[in-house]
Amino acid sequence: MHETLIANDIINEAKKYGKVMSIKVDVGELAHIPAHELDECLKSLVEWKVIVNEIQSSVKCTCGFKGRPRIMQKSHDSTVFACPKCGSNMSEIVSGKDIILKEVEVE
């Protein structure tokens, strides 16, 4: 249950700010778990308002392409993506792989 470990880390971080009412979390589309799985997990663990946003990714390829990759397959703990220009799967991830606690609303 990889998503439970990540969710618990987010919950513990949010609790550092006080009595939590709601949280907002950004999940990159190339993160280790899909945004919808983290959303479901967080909502099953807390009674706070939980908002999870999926953030588009950006890559840089050796062919010169810079932008959003073509996502071939997205599953639990695995994302396969390629450069939409040349088809290479060796693109460097510029953004969109992180899970970030963006906002915590407390009483």
Q: What's the total number of domains in the chain?
A: 1
Confidence (pTM): 0.87
CB 33 within 8 A of CB 59: no
Q: pLDDT tens for residues 95-104? A: 999 999 999 9
**How many angstroms separate the CA atoms of 11 and 22, rounded?**
10
Domain interval for residue 27: 2-106
Beta-carbon contacts of 34 under 8 Å, excluding residues fewer than 6 positions away, are 27, 54, 74, 75, 76
What CATH number does the domain containing 26 carry? 3.30.2320
Tokens of 46: 């807390």
Q: pLDDT tens for residues 50-84? A: 999 999 999 999 999 999 999 888 776 778 889 99
Beta-carbon contacts of 52 under 8 Å, excluding residues fewer than 6 positions away, are 24, 25, 26, 27, 35, 36, 38, 39, 42
